[in-house]
């Protein structure tokens, strides 16, 4: 009797599961869960439908670019130095660029223990996360498409997790939203890997969302209030009597 179940897709390689685990830094640029939750609230995410639209938009913009950069690094179709420049040009926000390099450095620290290799010396001291992710994926024995999947998933993983911190969001419902995006993650990863194989990196970018990171990263400066003028101290008894007369 034939089964009514759909055919099973090829299982993902074990290193891909490890590379997308919670202990490995993802490419989400916001500095921490609280900041990511604040970003979601600032962009009008108040319902599950809002969250679904936000994640889908991020997947097809920031996620697409990161996936293509990671695939190019894994497939060695674009020089790593050129990829670093391209990644910077796709991140218009200085705060986002700084966060990407910080996450790239953190990823290399994890990779130096989990997947040690002298190949990492080809990278700068502070590589962009997507560039580092692609090279680590190659060292781990993964294909460019695997690197693209990891980058695309990372672009939505942390924002989805941060949404649980917002009022009215249930953890299981949020996870269901993320699960529903799985086919789109595969589609974006496939498109990104195909572009990277041709030596191309897509241009779309969520500029307004990324530029909002600058406002959160900017130090809060308290307004300066001028102090009232202070009378000079009296130099002798005569001046002291005159001084007391002026303040009484």
pTM: 0.77
Give the tens place of pLDDT for each residue, 137-190: 999 999 999 999 999 999 998 888 888 887 788 999 999 999 999 999 999 999
Between 128-137, 214-223, 233-242, the lowest mean confidence (pLDDT) is in: 214-223
∠ CA(79), CA(56), CA(72), 5° rounding?
A: 10
Count of alpha carbons within 13 angstroms of residue 73, beta-carbon side: 37
Give the tens place of pLDDT for each residue, 37-78: 777 777 788 899 999 999 999 999 999 999 999 999 999 999
Q: Which residue has the tokens 């959160």?
A: 216
Q: Where are the domains positioned within the chain?
A: 26-217
Count of alpha carbons within 13 angstroms of residue 234, beta-carbon side: 12
Helix (H) or strand (E) holding 33: helix 33-42
| Nearest of 143, 58, 123 to residue 96 by alpha carbon | 58
Fold of domain 26-217: Urease accessory protein UreF (1.10.4190)
**CA quadruple 4, 9, 10, 16: dihedral positive or negative?**
negative
Predicted local confidence at residue 137, as pLDDT:
94
Count of alpha carbons within 13 angstroms of residue 69, beta-carbon side: 33
At residue 156, the 3 state secondary structure works out as helix
Count of alpha carbons within 13 angstroms of residue 13, beta-carbon side: 15
Written as six digits, the tokens of 64 are 């697409």
């Amino acid at each position: 009797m034939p089964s009514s179940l759909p055919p099973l897709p090829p299982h993902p390689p074990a290193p891909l599961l490890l590379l997308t685990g919670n202990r490995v830094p993802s490419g989400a640029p916001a500095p921490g869960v609280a900041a990511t939750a604040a970003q979601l609230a600032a962009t009008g995410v108040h319902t599950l439908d809002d969250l679904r639209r936000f994640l889908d938009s991020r997947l097809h913009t920031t996620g697409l670019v990161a996936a293509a950069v990671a695939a190019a690094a894994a497939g060695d179709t674009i020089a790593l130095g050129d990829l670093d420049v391209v990644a910077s040009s796709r991140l218009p926000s200085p705060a986002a660029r700084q966060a990407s390099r910080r996450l790239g450095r953190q990823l290399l620290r994890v990779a130096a223990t989990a997947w040690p290799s002298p190949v990492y010396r080809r990278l700068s001291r502070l590589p962009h996360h997507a560039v580092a992710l692609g090279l680590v994926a190659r060292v781990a024995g993964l294909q460019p498409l695997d690197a693209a999947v990891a980058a695309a998933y990372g672009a939505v993983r942390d924002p989805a997790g941060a949404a649980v911190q917002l009022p009215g969001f249930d953890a299981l419902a949020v996870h269901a939203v993320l699960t529903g995006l799985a086919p789109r993650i595969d589609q974006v990863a496939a498109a990104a890997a195909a572009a990277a194989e041709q030596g191309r990196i897509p241009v779309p970018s969520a500029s307004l969302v990324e530029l909002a990171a600058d406002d959160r990263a900017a130090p809060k400066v308290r307004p300066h209030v001028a102090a009232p003028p202070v009378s000079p101290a009296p130099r002798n008894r005569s001046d002291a009597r005159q001084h007391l007369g002026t303040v009484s």
